[in-house]
């Protein structure tokens, strides 16, 4: 998925490709990357100004009706399919919103990140505030959100903790592909159920999360599917497992 400069809520380039992915049985991992100098430059502020000036802006309703958020990614919280962000350049505003909803983040050494909404009189309202608070903690999240300053990839990894790996620019996409390959070596049922458990842990208290996860359709598919038998048999027979695509729920 390519996106050198996102539109106001950055849906158009992604709706054509991402929404089919969560239910696709052959695509097990989604990689989000950019093209050109920027991973995602965020919202189109000039278009936003035009809407404000013409009286057609309706931000609160836009946020409420945007079920999956910025680029149909930032508030997507029901898909159990892993998402990897391959950040090959700068990420501002909505770009950071997307990144914070990915499961793993690979960034180039020259990548920079910012939530500059406060400098423009707008708001980062598509899911990044609660996620950044959980990942970085209140004080560091406040630093990004209330100052609106730019941080480096190293800072995003070591201080704010939402980047997994920092690599050379030419290695960003190959590294993301290698991680996807490693994920694909594992049982797709187990991978997706593990991600569901993480999602539920953000919604519920400990015991409720464990109970809800154990009774979910994704867990049922795992325990009653072919891959659990294949994985145990492969271990017993000392061979590599031959995974099948998970059944569609």
Dist. CA 201–CA 181, nearest whole Å: 26
Strand partners, 152: 112
59 counts as catalytic: no
Dist. CA 89–CA 111, nearest whole Å: 5
| Burial 139-153, CB ≥16 within 10 A → b, else e | ebbebbbeebeebbb
Those residues whose C-beta lies under 8 Å from the C-beta of residue 106, and which sit 6 or more positions away, are: 84, 85, 86, 87, 163, 164, 165, 167, 172, 175, 176, 179
User: Do 44 and 13 contact (CB within 8 A), yes or no?
Assistant: no
Kindly list the distances between the CA atom of residue 103 and the CA atoms of 146, 160, 175, 216, 222, in Å, as whole numbers in the listed order. 25, 15, 14, 20, 20
Q: What are phi and psi of 77, to 5 degrees?
A: -130, 15
97 counts as catalytic: yes
Dist. CA 177–CA 22, nearest whole Å: 18
Distance of CA 154 to the CA centre of its chain: 19
Q: Which of 117, 143, 168, 207 is catalytic?
A: 117
Q: 131: exposed, middle or buried (C-beta count within 10 Å: 0-12, 13-18, 19+)?
A: buried
Dist. CA 6–CA 94, nearest whole Å: 8
Q: Which of 61, 97, 109, 143 is catalytic?
A: 97
Active site residues: 97, 117
């Amino acid at each position: 998925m390519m996106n050198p400069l996102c539109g106001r809520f950055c849906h158009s380039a992604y709706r054509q490709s991402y929404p089919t992915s969560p239910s696709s049985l052959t695509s097990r991992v989604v990689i989000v990357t950019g093209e050109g100098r920027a991973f995602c430059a965020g919202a189109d502020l000039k278009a936003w100004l035009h809407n404000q000036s013409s009286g057609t802006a309706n931000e609160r309703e836009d946020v409420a009706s945007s079920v999956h958020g910025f680029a149909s990614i930032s508030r997507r919280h029901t898909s159990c399919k892993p998402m990897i962000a391959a950040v090959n350049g700068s990420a501002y505003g909505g770009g950071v919103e997307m990144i914070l909803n990915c499961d793993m983040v690979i960034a180039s050494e020259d990548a920079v990140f910012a939530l500059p909404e406060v400098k423009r009189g707008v708001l980062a309202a598509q899911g990044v505030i609660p996620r950044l608070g959980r990942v970085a903690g209140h004080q560091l999240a406040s630093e990004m959100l209330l100052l609106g300053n730019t941080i480096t990839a190293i800072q995003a990894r070591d201080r704010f903790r939402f980047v997994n790996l920092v690599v050379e620019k030419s290695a960003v996409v190959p590294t993301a592909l290698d991680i996807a390959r490693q994920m694909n070596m594992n049982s797709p049922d187990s991978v997706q159920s593990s991600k569901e458990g993480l999602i539920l842990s953000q919604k519920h208290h400990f015991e409720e999360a464990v109970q809800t996860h154990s009774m979910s359709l994704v867990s049922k598919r795992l325990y009653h599917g072919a891959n659990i038998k294949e994985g145990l048999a492969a271990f017993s027979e000392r061979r590599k497992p031959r995974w099948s695509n998970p059944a569609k729920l």
